[in-house]
Amino acid sequence: MKFKNLANLFSDLESTTKRLEMIEFLSNFFEGVKKSNKFEDLDKIIYLLQGELVSNIKKFPKIGLAEKMIIDALSLHSGIDKKKVKEILIKKGDIGATAEQILAKRRTQMSLFDFEESPSELEPSLEISELYTALQKIALSEGTGSQDVKLGILRGLMRKCSPLENKYLLRIITSTLRVGVSTLTIIDGLALGFTGIKDNRNIIEKAYNFHPDLGDITKILAEKGITEVEKIGITYGIPIRMMLASRVPYGEIIEKLGTPLTAEYKLDGERLQIHKKGQDVKLFSRRLLEISEQFPDVCKTLIENIQVDDVIIEGEVVAMDSFYEKMLPFQVLSKRRRKYDVEDIIKEVPVCLFLFDLLKYKSESYIDKSFMVRRKKLEEIVSERDELRLVKSQLINSTDELLEFFNAARTEGNEGIMAKSIKEDSIYQAGNRGFLWIKLKGLEGGKLKDSVDVVLVGAFYGKGRRTGVYGTYVGAVLDPVEGKFIAFTRFFSGLTDELSDSLTKEMEKYKTEKKPKSVICEDIPDVWFEPEVVIEIIGDEITISEKFLTLGYSMRFPVFQRMRPEKGPGDITTVEEIRSLYDSQ
């Protein structure tokens, strides 16, 4: 497919904030693809719509093109002085929009060299497959002369693109291609465009939860139909989207889950999905990234102590003291993220893996089995030792028992507890946040005991002692249906001078001159950020907000708790959870 067709779709999607209009644009586009019967680029189209080059479960080399090189390429291609390009970039705040403006005005002022190679810029000829091949060449080029090679490839791509295509080409290269469309909206468009039946979105979404590569699923849908998509299930080596927990006031947990229920300790570690097939073990984070290299000791322990060759299980890895008696905070575990000196880090930060669920056993999926069936089978196959244990659990029959268990969990240094239904319908809801699991991290009282995960979307420059760094940040929560990040609160408390310095440097990578389309915020910070970095905050209470009117709520006296590098923007606290926290007060 020609890249210009996709660029036109991007432009249409950017022209609206209405979800129904986006679905219509998408469904019409996919219907056209279906009629053309040409599906070779479908997966790439889906990834780009999601703002990525590939899905999380696949790897694409980093493009590695600095902004300076892109400005050089744009200057050479357009004949505009680099200083002028930078001036326009500062005003536009976006390299793609900068390129579109410059090239729309200077289309006829190509150099003789460019003219000979590209007789007519009015007839773009770039194919999507050609774009991907070129991007891979750029990413893989290294060593002496590689910068010139990269610059040459980039200019070659730009010559084959119209101003509009160059806008999105450069956004792709700088990882800023976000057209404001959520994955759920794309799924709605796929259902209508390829099947004509909107309700088929449930089948596609379920398949995506089991196989979180929407590009793969779309090609199956296009080539084999919805019945083949319906057959997609849990597979070894491919992480499924993890089940999430909801929040309700502790007094309503029994009402929601019934009795008896199971309560488990909620640990302060990193959640892992473990795929063991023979002697091969893969560990996936909650962002579905393989992180096995961070925990070779955990892989070895699993091989030695899980008494079955083929199994998919879930657990939480926690930093421990040298005697494996006391659990240490998540900040200690974060040292395991270092890519070098792994053996030294293993000695410095010993860990224990606490298991709590089973998703597949040999050739049989356990996803649709009740929780107690999954837990019983898990207990059968695990040989416990210092480095490998089952999460502590207890059957609960009353709110008093629940509170007693909660207090015991907190006394032992845990975040709180997870209350889980054990009814017949207590299946594993991949990718969903239902009411089969409920997390409890604090009780009602003088302060809001439960923390909130927000994504940073803006900041204000610091004053006084904080001059030169960002002093106050704006955090947003997630509307998963609309795919929007809704501003929730400002915060500055809890940030040490050292952390303020490091966070300011980190956020430069996500700085953008205008508010991202996926962000809804009535506040006007000095700097906007692409919503990527997740942090945890705590406060006194959730209040009605006169500043953040879209959400309608904010946090009183918010305090920074910690960075959450293991979480992505899609894992943060939702709008509904904020409402629930407010109601619980």
Give residue-wise pLDDT tens across range 216-264.
999 999 999 999 999 999 999 999 999 999 988 888 899 999 999 999 9
Q: Select which of 4, 150, 266, 276 is catalytic.
A: 266
What number is the average pLDDT over the span 370-380? Answer: 97
Report pLDDT digits (tens) over 40-75.
Answer: 999 999 999 998 899 988 888 888 788 889 999 999
What number is the average pLDDT over the span 339-366? Answer: 93
In percent, how much of the chain has pLDDT > 70?
Answer: 95
How much is the pLDDT for 124?
59
Q: Identify the bridge partners of residue 272 per DSSP, sorted by sequence position.
A: 315
Q: What's the rounded Cα separation, in Å, for the pair 139 and 129?
A: 16
Query: Residue 506: how many CB atoms within 10 A of its CB?
Result: 14
What is residue 564's DSSP assignment? -
What is the number of residues in the chain?
A: 585
More confident of the two residues 267 and 143: 267
How much is the pLDDT for 352?
97
Q: What is the CATH number of domain 3-51+180-229?
A: 1.10.3260.10
What number is the average pLDDT over the span 4-24? Answer: 94
Q: Is the model's pLDDT at 115 over the cut of 50?
A: no
Q: Is the model's pLDDT at 449 over the cut of 60?
A: yes
For the domain 67-173, what is the CATH superfamily, name and number?
Answer: DNA ligase, ATP-dependent, N-terminal domain (1.10.3260.10)
Q: Is the model's pLDDT at 89 over the cut of 50?
A: yes
Reported as a pLDDT band with limits 50, 70 and 90, residue 112 is very low
Judge whether 3-51+180-229 and 244-440 match in fold: no
What is residue 392's DSSP assignment? P
Specify the pTM. 0.86
Contact 417, 264 (CB under 8 A): yes
- Looking up tokens 């009015």 gives 122
Reported as a pLDDT band with limits 50, 70 and 90, residue 441 is confident
How much is the pLDDT for 447?
59
Q: Is the model's pLDDT at 121 over the cut of 70?
A: no
Q: Is the model's pLDDT at 314 over the cut of 80?
A: yes
More confident of the two residues 295 and 584: 295
Q: Is the model's pLDDT at 156 over the cut of 90?
A: yes
How much is the pLDDT for 299?
97
Q: What's the rounded Cα separation, in Å, for the pair 289 and 56?
A: 6
Give the CATH class of 452-584.
mainly beta
Reported as a pLDDT band with limits 50, 70 and 90, residue 143 is confident
Lowest mean pLDDT among 109-118, 447-456, 496-505, 518-527: 109-118
How much is the pLDDT for 113?
47
Specify burial of residue 296 (Cβ count, 10 A radius: 0-12, 13-18, 19+). Answer: middle
Domain extent listing, the chain: 3-51+180-229, 67-173, 244-440, 452-584
What is residue 367's DSSP assignment? T
Mean pLDDT highest for which of 37-46, 325-334, 338-347? 37-46
Contact 178, 528 (CB under 8 A): no
Reported as a pLDDT band with limits 50, 70 and 90, residue 108 is low
How much is the pLDDT for 463?
80
Q: What's the rounded Cα separation, in Å, for the pair 295 and 272?
A: 11
Mean pLDDT highest for which of 42-46, 77-81, 90-94? 42-46
Q: How far is CA 522 from CA 2, 19, 513, 546, in A?
A: 39, 20, 16, 10
Q: Any catalytic annotation for residue 219?
A: no
Lowest mean pLDDT among 359-363, 456-460, 497-501, 521-525: 497-501
In percent, how much of the chain has pLDDT > 90?
Answer: 71
How much is the pLDDT for 342?
83
Cis peptide before 260 (omega within 30 of 0): yes
Report pLDDT digits (tens) over 380-395.
Answer: 999 999 999 999 999 9
Contact 479, 486 (CB under 8 A): yes
DSSP string, 289-352: -B-GGG-HHHHHHHHHHBS-SEEEEEEEEEEB-TTS-SB--HHHHGGGG-SS-HHHHHHHS-EE
How much is the pLDDT for 201?
97
Q: What's the rounded Cα separation, in Å, for the pair 268 and 270?
A: 7
Q: Kindly give, in sequence order, each residue whose CB lies less than 8 Å from that of residue 546, ignoring residues fewer than 6 positions away.
A: none
Q: How far is CA 91 from CA 72, 73, 84, 323, in A?
A: 18, 19, 11, 58
Q: Is the model's pLDDT at 117 over the cut of 80?
A: no
How much is the pLDDT for 247?
87
* CATH architecture type of domain 244-440: 2-Layer Sandwich (3.30)
Reported as a pLDDT band with limits 50, 70 and 90, residue 107 is low
More confident of the two residues 542 and 179: 542
What number is the average pLDDT over the span 489-505? Answer: 90
How much is the pLDDT for 331?
87
How much is the pLDDT for 497?
84
Average pLDDT, the chain: 91
Which pair of tokens denotes residue 266?
């909620």
Reported as a pLDDT band with limits 50, 70 and 90, residue 123 is low
Which pair of tokens denotes residue 152?
């040459």
